[in-house]
Amino acid sequence: MKQLIANFSKHLTEAISIGESAILHQPPYSIKNILISGLGGSGIGGTIVSQIVSGEARVPITVSKDYFIPAFVDGNTVVIICSYSGNTEETLSAMKFAMEKKAKIVCISSGGEVVEIAKKNGLDFILIPPGFPPRSAFAFPFVQLFYVLGFFKIISSNVIKDIKSAIDLIETEEGKILEEAKNIAGKLLNKIPVIYSDASIEGVSVRFRQQINENSKMLCWHHAIPEMNHNELVGWVEKNENLAVVILRNGSDYSRSQKRMEINKEIISKKTSTVVEIHSKGNSKIENALYLIHLCDWVSQFLADLKNIDSTEVKVIDFLKGELAKI
């Protein structure tokens, strides 16, 4: 896992090459909406991308993490199927329903049933490299989503320039990223992390939570500002040193949300002594997001090292899949 995280910028570079070579086809009807279907490490890219492009996307983008698809899906919908293995049962189910609705389907996968079905039915698909734990292959579907949205003219093509800038930023800052990640991991050890961020980057918080769950084998939760100010903040009543708060921050976060973060920090610091802020770097939403994702991935790995556990192991998920296969 360490080497996979270290190769993040290389994965992004390779993903750009894959996207440049992708062959897609326009649907016969106008596009009225987008549905991105995927779960876990395969699906989180859809959540983050949909938030990054929300200010410019010319049609609604919905992200689904279920066996089913929304009723609005029809021939005017582009359904993007994201399954790294190509065998995710929930995503395969959603794909079947999308085909029944005559939606325009684009698959992003390394193989499996998804690609077999796509080939058999003449559906568009983009092949990404196999052999990774899905969560460590994040860069590949993440970048392809931008290419797909760009091809259908849902967004501009300038995003690839921002991804290339993010690659340069990560490679330049890698030493500082490692140092900060180790420091943060030490503060989170033997505690329950609580992750907060502005609502506009909640997907990045979700990614961090998932990495702590899978790599660090720890429970964790997250919430977004301003919504948490209308409910969860009231729960900070008792002092609890078992909790460690991490606040993800961008300089571009909405000004009133930034003020809320400062007030929240003042309130929460009276209930736990561990309050950590992680500030992104970069000049675009994509740079900010990829910087935070990479740094937080390292935090999850260093936590695993401190706990002396295997960050790649996910036996409980394998057991769950095995039990489901018996049905």
Helix axes 89-100, 112-121, angle to 10 degrees: 20
Strand partners, 194: 221, 245
Integer-rounded Cα Rg, in Å, for the chain is: 20
> Are 229 and 259 within 8 A, CB to CB?
no
Burial class (CB in 10 A: 0-12, 13-18, 19+), 235: exposed
- Is 309 in a helix, a strand, or coil? coil
**Residues listed for the chain:** 327
Helix axes 285-307, 159-188, angle to 10 degrees: 30
Q: Write the DSSP symbol of residue 24.
A: -
CB atoms within 10 A of CB 107: 24
Q: Which residue numbers are catalytic?
A: 214, 230, 321
Is the bond preceding 226 in cis, omega lying within 30 degrees of 0?
yes
DSSP string computed for 108-161: EESSHHHHHHHHHHT-EEEE---SS-GGGGTHHHHHHHHHHHHHTTSS-TTHHH
